[in-house]
Structure 1
């Protein structure tokens, strides 16, 4: 029988919201499509991003080896989002004929996804319109505009920007919404975006093998609406190679922990969001497409503060890894779960021991998040 817990009391560090489900590693699902990696390999500028080993973190976290998947330079952009945007736009365009007019690709974004859609629209000869909520740094808005997109500023939170983008797409006969969150009636394109992220995990498998490392015992993933975490679940719960299943843990800002709240309730819930430097994770509603995967396939979830993320980003920078607040959330979450009061219980729940291999997904570089450059002084 599975067990769940949502704790914030004396058994964990004060204020640490934590969820664990013991049965997650027994759940399986269909693996992602096999042809996504070949598609990405054919794009201009494709190369696997670095998987960097950091022995100092292995010592700190009392595990065997720690690797950071560094997404600070992916297809010419400073975040992993280009993987999902490129595959989804490819699938959209392959369904059109040569006689069709160029399509207007519409999306909402906290920064990285919108820039990726704009870049890929330009690469494929299409137009883009990007809705940006309040709180996104002006430099991030400028970066999207420099990709050739029409930017619409929304005086509300991310969820409002998504609603505005969806409305605009419905009104245009040649408009298509390319959103990385799903809801009832809008799941096909978000599903393609999630499929696109599978290349990241295929690279990790190959890189760990080349480094003579065991399969990961724990993979830590930053979560906004949960799409990247869904891709992690699909990869590691869809494996058929006999490897021991990895524990999977999501990390969110305490001010926008919709995945954690939903897991605790065992049903999707929306949460109010506040200001956070982890702008790309500042989401109040879980993707409907991701939710079944997260509910069944995530072992754990934790929420961290901006200060936790900033400290992790500084430490990663000192070790040579450029990581913005969203990317550094993985290290902050690993520290919260594996150290401090109650760590023995949490480590046991995750199956993490002194020989375990950890993979932390650093989903953006500092160039993707101007707040990070200001905070880190870079």
Structure 2
């Protein structure tokens, strides 16, 4: 069992764990209309605060025309799924950004999309999905219930969480996220010392683990950050098995997930160096501070800074904060 210091989970053995690499998908993304690497923004004021050499924000607030990174996974996952069989309608469940990305790809391909949205998602996020041409189905329950409703719906299910018997499409979605980490390394000229990763079901963190644990030297410390009201990965790490936590409410709506992805879990269990849960107040403060520095983060993106602050001495060397969504993706603060 790895040690736990207050609310910070640590697993020293993660640094030596290895896994196979993701297939190269960057060429696919480069061919998409409007593709460009998202900025890596230097934040010297935060470096001074944290005692790090450098702090940089990977700013995903504008990715292929959307205010979040999710279209990287949705576009690749849908392409691979359609190669295995056609579909007239795409179906998914979402806390906001994934559903909007699926809807956008459906619109590009001339397909219908039906998106199941749980309670607690801001009306503006629902409207943004509709504006992409998708049908939105409101679910009066948590994210897990929206996933169950979507999985029972006719059409091609494009879900970014996995469960036994449903893992191919989530695997392709995770592969799509690898472009983000390849961009970071190219922009830095090497790997960061600490990567702070906002976590819902764990798919983005799985992609980070795959990228940084599949090479030779794996020097990057991987920190997962969750809302303290929905810390399913942190609780699963503490118990040594995947668990479902009670559904809560949080301004970090895109991270409000109660159960880790079954596909992500082995990677998170073995490849994460650290995990922490942060309260809404810490995320709101981070959003405010990032905005003052010119980074328009939403609450999920702000979680990465809140997590780095909570990680104490782990935030040393070159620190990269994943700003996974813009303020207009979830206008909660």
The answer to whether TM tops 0.5 is: yes
1:74 corresponds to 2:72: no
CA-CA distance at 1:58 after TM superposition: 0.7
Equivalent residue, structure 2, for 1:153:
138
CA-CA distance at 1:92 after TM superposition: 1.4
SS at match of 2:311: helix
Equivalent of 2:81, from 72, 86, 92? 92
* CA distances 1:42-87 after superposition (whole Å, capped 9, x unpaired): 0111110000010111111101111110000001000000000000
TM value normalised by structure 1: 0.86
SS at match of 1:311: helix
Equivalent residue, structure 2, for 1:31:
21
Equivalent of 1:122, from 76, 96, 107? 107
Equivalent of 1:336, from 310, 315, 322? 310
SS at match of 1:370: coil
SS at match of 1:262: helix
Q: Is the 8 A contact 2:185 2:192 kept in 1?
A: no
CA-CA distance at 1:124 after TM superposition: 1.5
Equivalent residue, structure 1, for 2:43:
54
Which ranges of 4 or more aligned residues in structure 1 deviate by more than 4 Å?
Answer: none
Equivalent residue, structure 1, for 2:165:
185
Equivalent of 1:307, from 269, 272, 281? 281
In structure 1, stretches of 5+ residues that fail to align are: 9-16, 339-346
In structure 2, stretches of 5+ residues that fail to align are: none
In the TM superposition, what are the counterparts of 1:169-318 in structure 2 within 5 Å? Answer: 172=154, 175-209=155-189, 215-240=191-216, 242=217, 244-318=218-292
Across the aligned residues of Structure 1 and Structure 2, the Cα RMSD in angstroms comes to 1.1
* CA distances 1:131-169 after superposition (whole Å, capped 9, x unpaired): 00011111111110111111110010100000000011x
CA-CA distance at 1:366 after TM superposition: 0.3
CA distance in 1, matches of 2:296, 2:213: 29
In the TM superposition, what are the counterparts of 1:137-152 in structure 2 within 5 Å? Answer: 137-152=122-137
Equivalent residue, structure 2, for 1:343:
none
Which structure has the larger Rg? 1
Equivalent residue, structure 1, for 2:11:
21
SS at match of 2:3: strand
Equivalent of 2:322, from 361, 366, 370? 361
Q: Is the 8 A contact 2:118 2:142 kept in 1?
A: yes
